[in-house]
Amino acid sequence: MSRFQKLLSVLDKELRYQEKILMLLSKEQAAIIRLNQEQMERCRVEKEKLGAEAIALEQQRIEIISECLAQSPSDVDGEPHFADLIANCQDPRVRRDLAHIGEELKETAQAVKKQNELNGNLIRHSLGLITSTIAIMRSYPGTELPTYTPKGRLTARDQDPAFTAPRTSFTRAV
Protein backbone atom coordinates (compact mmCIF):
# COMPACT_ATOMS: atom_id res chain seq x y z
CA MET A 1 0.00 0.00 0.00
CA SER A 2 1.44 3.36 -1.00
CA ARG A 3 1.77 6.36 1.34
CA PHE A 4 -1.08 8.07 -0.49
CA GLN A 5 -3.32 5.02 -0.17
CA LYS A 6 -2.55 4.95 3.55
CA LEU A 7 -3.43 8.63 3.71
CA LEU A 8 -6.69 7.95 1.89
CA SER A 9 -7.52 5.19 4.37
CA VAL A 10 -6.84 7.40 7.40
CA LEU A 11 -8.81 10.32 5.91
CA ASP A 12 -11.72 7.97 5.24
CA LYS A 13 -11.67 6.90 8.90
CA GLU A 14 -11.52 10.57 9.98
CA LEU A 15 -14.53 11.32 7.79
CA ARG A 16 -16.49 8.50 9.46
CA TYR A 17 -15.61 9.98 12.88
CA GLN A 18 -16.71 13.45 11.76
CA GLU A 19 -20.01 11.97 10.58
CA LYS A 20 -20.46 10.17 13.92
CA ILE A 21 -19.78 13.42 15.77
CA LEU A 22 -22.31 15.24 13.58
CA MET A 23 -24.97 12.62 14.35
CA LEU A 24 -24.10 12.82 18.03
CA LEU A 25 -24.43 16.62 17.98
CA SER A 26 -27.91 16.23 16.46
CA LYS A 27 -28.86 13.87 19.31
CA GLU A 28 -27.40 16.38 21.74
CA GLN A 29 -29.53 19.14 20.21
CA ALA A 30 -32.68 17.06 20.77
CA ALA A 31 -31.61 16.43 24.37
CA ILE A 32 -30.97 20.16 24.94
CA ILE A 33 -34.37 21.11 23.54
CA ARG A 34 -36.06 18.52 25.76
CA LEU A 35 -33.84 19.50 28.73
CA ASN A 36 -32.96 15.82 29.10
CA GLN A 37 -29.88 15.89 31.32
CA GLU A 38 -29.29 12.15 31.20
CA GLN A 39 -29.20 12.14 27.39
CA MET A 40 -26.96 15.23 27.37
CA GLU A 41 -24.54 13.46 29.72
CA ARG A 42 -24.50 10.35 27.53
CA CYS A 43 -23.75 12.57 24.53
CA ARG A 44 -20.92 14.28 26.41
CA VAL A 45 -19.33 10.94 27.34
CA GLU A 46 -19.67 9.67 23.77
CA LYS A 47 -18.14 12.90 22.40
CA GLU A 48 -15.14 12.48 24.71
CA LYS A 49 -14.68 8.90 23.51
CA LEU A 50 -14.91 9.90 19.84
CA GLY A 51 -12.55 12.81 20.47
CA ALA A 52 -9.90 10.52 21.95
CA GLU A 53 -10.17 8.16 18.98
CA ALA A 54 -10.02 11.08 16.55
CA ILE A 55 -6.80 12.32 18.21
CA ALA A 56 -5.17 8.93 17.53
CA LEU A 57 -6.25 9.12 13.88
CA GLU A 58 -4.98 12.68 13.65
CA GLN A 59 -1.56 11.50 14.82
CA GLN A 60 -1.55 8.80 12.13
CA ARG A 61 -2.54 11.39 9.50
CA ILE A 62 0.25 13.75 10.59
CA GLU A 63 2.84 10.95 10.36
CA ILE A 64 1.69 9.87 6.89
CA ILE A 65 1.59 13.44 5.60
CA SER A 66 5.10 14.02 6.95
CA GLU A 67 6.28 10.92 5.09
CA CYS A 68 4.58 12.08 1.89
CA LEU A 69 6.12 15.54 2.15
CA ALA A 70 9.57 14.16 2.94
CA GLN A 71 9.58 11.88 -0.10
CA SER A 72 7.93 14.28 -2.55
CA PRO A 73 9.61 17.06 -4.49
CA SER A 74 8.54 20.37 -3.06
CA ASP A 75 8.36 23.44 -5.22
CA VAL A 76 5.88 25.15 -2.91
CA ASP A 77 6.94 28.19 -0.92
CA GLY A 78 5.85 28.23 2.73
CA GLU A 79 3.42 25.74 4.22
CA PRO A 80 2.14 23.16 1.73
CA HIS A 81 -1.62 22.85 1.27
CA PHE A 82 -3.55 19.64 0.83
CA ALA A 83 -3.84 20.27 -2.92
CA ASP A 84 -0.04 20.59 -3.12
CA LEU A 85 0.35 17.30 -1.29
CA ILE A 86 -2.02 15.29 -3.47
CA ALA A 87 -0.54 16.81 -6.64
CA ASN A 88 2.51 14.65 -5.90
CA CYS A 89 0.43 11.45 -5.99
CA GLN A 90 1.28 9.43 -9.11
CA ASP A 91 -1.91 7.33 -9.19
CA PRO A 92 -4.74 9.39 -10.79
CA ARG A 93 -7.48 7.33 -9.11
CA VAL A 94 -5.97 7.80 -5.64
CA ARG A 95 -5.35 11.50 -6.38
CA ARG A 96 -9.04 11.92 -7.39
CA ASP A 97 -10.21 10.00 -4.29
CA LEU A 98 -7.98 12.14 -2.04
CA ALA A 99 -9.36 15.35 -3.54
CA HIS A 100 -12.92 14.07 -3.11
CA ILE A 101 -12.46 12.99 0.51
CA GLY A 102 -10.69 16.27 1.27
CA GLU A 103 -13.78 18.17 0.11
CA GLU A 104 -16.07 15.86 2.08
CA LEU A 105 -13.98 16.37 5.22
CA LYS A 106 -14.10 20.13 4.78
CA GLU A 107 -17.89 20.14 4.34
CA THR A 108 -18.46 17.79 7.26
CA ALA A 109 -16.15 19.79 9.53
CA GLN A 110 -18.08 22.96 8.68
CA ALA A 111 -21.39 21.19 9.43
CA VAL A 112 -19.99 19.96 12.77
CA LYS A 113 -18.83 23.47 13.65
CA LYS A 114 -22.22 24.96 12.75
CA GLN A 115 -24.14 22.32 14.73
CA ASN A 116 -21.84 22.76 17.73
CA GLU A 117 -22.36 26.55 17.66
CA LEU A 118 -26.14 26.04 17.43
CA ASN A 119 -26.06 23.70 20.42
CA GLY A 120 -24.02 26.25 22.37
CA ASN A 121 -26.58 28.95 21.57
CA LEU A 122 -29.43 26.67 22.66
CA ILE A 123 -27.66 25.99 25.96
CA ARG A 124 -27.07 29.72 26.58
CA HIS A 125 -30.71 30.45 25.72
CA SER A 126 -31.92 27.69 28.05
CA LEU A 127 -29.72 28.95 30.88
CA GLY A 128 -31.15 32.46 30.42
CA LEU A 129 -34.69 31.10 30.64
CA ILE A 130 -33.82 29.00 33.67
CA THR A 131 -32.26 32.01 35.38
CA SER A 132 -35.40 34.05 34.69
CA THR A 133 -37.62 31.27 36.00
CA ILE A 134 -35.57 30.99 39.19
CA ALA A 135 -35.76 34.78 39.66
CA ILE A 136 -39.54 34.63 39.30
CA MET A 137 -39.84 31.70 41.70
CA ARG A 138 -37.67 33.42 44.31
CA SER A 139 -39.62 36.67 44.25
CA TYR A 140 -41.98 37.34 47.13
CA PRO A 141 -45.67 38.07 46.63
CA GLY A 142 -46.22 41.77 46.10
CA THR A 143 -42.71 42.42 44.80
CA GLU A 144 -42.05 43.44 41.24
CA LEU A 145 -40.81 40.69 39.02
CA PRO A 146 -37.56 41.45 37.21
CA THR A 147 -39.30 41.87 33.85
CA TYR A 148 -42.76 43.30 34.53
CA THR A 149 -44.28 45.91 36.83
CA PRO A 150 -47.47 45.09 38.77
CA LYS A 151 -49.38 46.72 35.88
CA GLY A 152 -47.79 44.28 33.44
CA ARG A 153 -45.48 46.78 31.78
CA LEU A 154 -42.01 45.83 30.74
CA THR A 155 -39.25 47.11 33.06
CA ALA A 156 -35.69 47.73 31.95
CA ARG A 157 -34.30 44.84 29.93
CA ASP A 158 -31.02 44.84 31.82
CA GLN A 159 -32.80 43.55 34.95
CA ASP A 160 -33.80 40.27 33.31
CA PRO A 161 -31.10 37.64 32.72
CA ALA A 162 -33.10 36.24 29.79
CA PHE A 163 -32.52 39.50 27.95
CA THR A 164 -28.90 39.95 28.96
CA ALA A 165 -27.62 36.46 28.08
CA PRO A 166 -25.51 36.70 24.91
CA ARG A 167 -27.32 35.41 21.83
CA THR A 168 -26.39 35.24 18.24
CA SER A 169 -29.34 33.54 16.62
CA PHE A 170 -32.19 34.05 19.05
CA THR A 171 -34.09 37.28 19.43
CA ARG A 172 -37.00 38.14 21.63
CA ALA A 173 -39.86 40.18 20.23
CA VAL A 174 -41.19 42.84 22.58
The pLDDT value recorded for residue 111 is 95
Domain boundaries, the chain: 3-122
Fold classification of 3-122 (topology level): Methane Monooxygenase Hydroxylase; Chain G, domain 1 (1.20.58)
Tell me the pLDDT of the chain (174 aa) as tens digits.
788 899 999 999 999 999 999 999 999 999 988 889 899 999 999 999 988 888 989 999 989 888 888 776 665 566 778 888 888 888 899 999 999 999 999 999 999 999 999 999 888 888 877 787 787 777 655 555 556 666 766 666 555 555 555 555 555 554
- The pTM score is 0.68
What's the sign of the alpha-carbon dihedral 47, 48, 52, 53?
negative
